[in-house]
Amino acid sequence: MQRGPVSTFNRHDIYEQDTNNKIGIGAAVAKAFADAGCPRIAITDLNKKLLQDTKKAILESHPKAEVLAATGDISSENFVDSFIADVVRSFGRLDYCVNCAGILGNSQSSTETSADDFDRINNVNYRGCWFSSRAELRAMLRQEPFASHGGEKSQSKRKHRQYRKPASSRRPSDCT
């Protein structure tokens, strides 16, 4: 029984370089999905308070929504795999993902940035988002497509089997 789409979001706090103001990209996107009618949302963040604030804001606006919130570090492969497994165990499936975790450096030039700072930034901004995408895709590939999103398997297979001649070999009458 399909109960509606499930979305996951991961985020770290992102700060504007000059003003030190928090930019709640993940929170804003999670709220927007709830506003668009997504009934089940999973979110993660390093900061437990901000994570709970986001969950509270979603539930205040959408009291029937189900929100799974897990504090964790997406630069940890074990955390990411565990989080996505919890999402699937809790909600039965995963349909949409937004990987928007990111941290800024120390505003130093590349020649002044230490290898430790470089590794810390890339472990979150690149590697962590890759861990997330990989775990999410693995989960999605194990499930049946969601029916309202063109989920007929046979339809999907037929669509991918269609062959089009390369543009260079088409005559004008071949173009559609």
Domains, the chain, in order of start with CATH, read 6-174 (3.40.50.720)
166/94 Cα distance (integer angstroms) = 35
- Give 106-163 pLDDT, tens digit per residue: 788 889 999 999 999 899 889 999 999 999 999 999 998 766 655 555 444 444 444 4
- Give 30-43 pLDDT, tens digit per residue: 898 899 999 999 99
Identify the pLDDT of residue 103: 82
122/116 Cα distance (integer angstroms) = 10
Identify the pLDDT of residue 105: 79
- Give 53-86 pLDDT, tens digit per residue: 999 999 999 999 999 999 999 999 999 999 999 9
Q: Closest Cα partner for 64 from 87, 39, 43?
A: 39
40/106 Cα distance (integer angstroms) = 36
